[in-house]
C-alpha cells in the first residue's frame, strides 16, 4: 500500500539516495538545497515521501513562498530552474500531487507551482515559455572547441587577446556576488542573499565551484555552478556591462565548458532562458540544444494565478521601479524581497 509521509531527519540520507538513483532526480532535489534555503531565508518547507512496502518510490519537495506584497504559493522548487515531482511512475506522482493539493488550503496559499524538467501527467495550467539549454560534452575539450560556432570561438579568442583571464575557486564568492548583485539591479530583479550562496557551498562543498573572469586584476564576470551525476549545472552568472566590449561572457562560458569536460561530465546545462530571448540565442551559439521546461499550476480558485511572467502589468511596474532604486538600497532590501519571489 502506498503511503505519503513527511521527510524526517532520519530519512534524509534515504531521500538523497533515491534522488541519486532516480532518472528524474536532479541536483536541486537534494536535501542540501532545502537546508540552504531554510538557513538563508527561513522559508517553510514540506518535503513529501511516497513509500510502498517501506521503500521510497517518489518524492516531492515543496516550499511556502511569498506573502505581502507577493502572492503566497507552494513551489517545487524555488530559486531553481526545475525540481518538481520525482517518482517511479505516474500513479505515484499523482498521489504526491494529491497530497500537495491538500496543503494549499492548510497553508492559505493561492496556488502550487510545479517546475518539471520532463513532461508530467498532470492536467493543469501550463506555462511553457521557459527552456533549459543542454550541451553534450566530450572528454577532450579541443574536440568540442571545433564544434562550436565560429562566432563563439572568435569572441573567446578576442577575450584572451584583450587580457582577460579566468580563475576558479570558492574564495572568489564575494567577488562574484558583487558583480551578480550589480547586474540583478540593472535587470530589475531583487538580488539573492549572500547567505544563500554561502549555505549552498556549506551543504555541497565538493559539488560547487565558482569561476571569475578578471581584467587588469578586477573581477568583471563570474559564475556559480554545480556538478551532479553526469551534468554540470550553470546556476547563476553575471558580467559587468561596462566591460562587455572585452567579451567576458564568452570566456566565462568556454572556461566552464572546458572545466566540465576535464571533470568527466557528459552534459553542460546552461540554465533557464525564455524561448528566443537574448540569453537563449547566446547559449544556442555554443551548440546547446533547448529542452522544454514544464511549469504547471494548481489553484483552488480559478484565475487566482497571477504575476507568473514579466509581461504582467504588476511585474512590469515592479521591474521598472527596481531598476531605479539606489544601489545601496537594492543591495540591502533585495534579499528581503527575494525570499518571496520563487
Q: What is the pLDDT along the chain (342 residues), one digit of tens a residue?
A: 899 999 999 999 999 999 999 999 999 999 999 999 999 999 999 999 999 999 999 999 999 998 766 788 999 999 999 999 999 999 999 999 999 999 999 999 999 999 999 988 888 989 999 999 999 999 999 999 999 999 999 999 999 999 999 999 999 999 999 999 999 888 888 999 999 999 999 999 999 999 999 999 999 999 999 999 999 999 999 999 999 999 999 999 999 999 999 999 999 999 999 999 999 999 999 999 999 999 999 998 766 565 455 456 677 787 787 777 787 777 788 888 888 888
220 CB burial (10 A radius; 0-12, 13-18, 19+)? buried
132-291 CATH choice from 3.40.630.30, 3.30.70.260, 3.40.640.10, 1.10.10.410: 3.40.630.30
DSSP 247: -
Q: CA 32 to CA 9: how far, in whole Å?
A: 12
Q: CA 47 to CA 29: how far, in whole Å?
A: 10
Burial 130-156, CB ≥16 within 10 A → b, else e = bbbbbbebeeebeebbeebeeebbebb
Q: CA 339 to CA 323: how far, in whole Å?
A: 18
Cell numbers linked to 311: 509581461
DSSP 147: T
Question: Is 236 within 8 Å of 180 (Cβ atoms)?
Answer: yes
> Residue 135: in which H helix or E strand, if any?
strand 130-136
First-residue to last-residue Cα distance in the chain:
34
Question: Is 144 within 8 Å of 261 (Cβ atoms)?
Answer: yes
DSSP 242: G
Domain range summary for the chain, segments of one domain joined by +:
2-128+293-308, 132-291
Q: CA 196 to CA 36: how far, in whole Å?
A: 6
**Mean pLDDT value across the chain:** 93
- The pTM for the full model equals 0.93
Cell numbers linked to 328: 545601496
Place of cell 534515504: 14
3-state secondary structure of 53: coil
Write the DSSP assignment of 180-192 as a string of letters: HHHHHHHHT-PPP
Asked: is 2-128+293-308 a CATH 3.40.50.620 domain? The reply is no
Cell numbers linked to 228: 551532479
Question: Is 48 within 8 Å of 2 (Cβ atoms)?
Answer: no
pLDDT at position 102:
95
pLDDT at position 68:
65
**CA 251 to each of CA 66, 179, 215, 274: distance values in angstroms, whole numbers, following the listed order:** 37, 16, 12, 23
Q: CA 273 to CA 312: how far, in whole Å?
A: 18
**CA Rg, the chain, in Å?**
20
Domains 2-128+293-308 and 132-291 share a fold: yes
Amino acid at each position: 500500500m502506498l503511503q505519503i509521509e513527511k521527510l524526517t531527519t532520519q530519512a534524509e540520507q534515504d531521500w538523497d539516495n533515491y534522488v541519486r538513483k532516480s532518472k528524474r532526480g536532479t541536483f536541486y532535489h537534494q536535501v542540501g538545497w532545502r537546508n540552504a534555503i531554510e538557513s538563508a531565508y527561513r522559508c517553510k518547507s514540506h518535503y513529501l515521501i511516497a513509500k510502498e512496502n517501506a521503500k521510497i518510490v517518489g518524492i516531492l519537495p515543496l516550499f511556502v513562498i511569498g506573502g505581502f506584497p507577493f502572492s503566497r504559493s507552494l513551489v517545487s522548487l524555488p530559486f531553481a530552474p526545475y525540481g518538481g515531482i520525482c517518482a517511479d511512475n505516474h500513479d505515484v506522482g499523482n498521489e504526491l500531487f494529491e497530497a500537495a493539493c491538500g496543503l494549499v488550503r492548510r497553508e492559505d496559499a493561492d496556488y502550487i507551482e510545479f517546475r518539471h524538467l520532463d513532461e508530467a501527467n498532470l492536467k493543469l495550467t501550463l506555462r511553457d515559455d521557459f527552456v533549459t539549454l543542454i550541451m553534450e560534452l566530450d572528454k577532450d575539450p579541443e574536440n568540442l572547441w571545433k564544434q562550436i560556432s565560429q562566432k563563439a570561438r572568435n569572441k573567446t579568442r578576442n577575450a584572451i587577446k584583450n587580457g582577460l583571464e579566468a580563475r576558479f575557486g570558492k574564495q572568489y564568492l564575494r567577488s562574484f556576488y558583487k558583480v551578480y548583485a550589480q547586474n540583478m539591479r540593472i535587470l530589475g530583479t531583487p538580488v539573492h542573499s549572500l547567505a544563500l550562496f554561502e549555505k549552498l557551498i556549506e551543504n555541497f562543498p565538493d559539488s560547487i565551484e565558482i569561476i571569475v573572469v578578471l581584467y587588469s586584476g578586477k573581477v568583471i564576470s563570474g559564475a556559480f555552478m554545480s556538478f551532479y551525476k553526469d551534468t554540470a549545472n550553470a546556476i547563476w552568472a553575471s558580467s559587468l556591462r561596462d566591460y562587455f566590449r572585452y567579451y567576458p561572457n564568452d570566456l566565462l562560458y568556454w572556461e566552464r565548458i572546458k572545466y566540465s569536460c576535464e571533470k568527466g561530465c557528459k552534459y553542460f546545462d546552461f540554465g533557464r532562458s525564455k524561448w528566443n530571448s537574448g540569453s537563449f540565442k547566446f547559449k544556442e551559439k555554443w551548440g546547446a540544444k533547448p529542452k522544454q521546461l514544464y511549469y504547471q499550476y494548481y489553484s483552488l480558485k480559478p484565475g487566482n494565478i497571477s504575476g507568473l511572467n514579466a509581461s504582467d502589468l504588476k511585474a512590469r511596474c515592479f521591474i521598472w521601479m527596481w531598476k531605479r532604486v539606489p544601489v545601496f538600497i537594492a543591495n540591502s532590501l533585495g534579499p528581503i524581497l527575494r525570499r518571496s519571489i520563487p
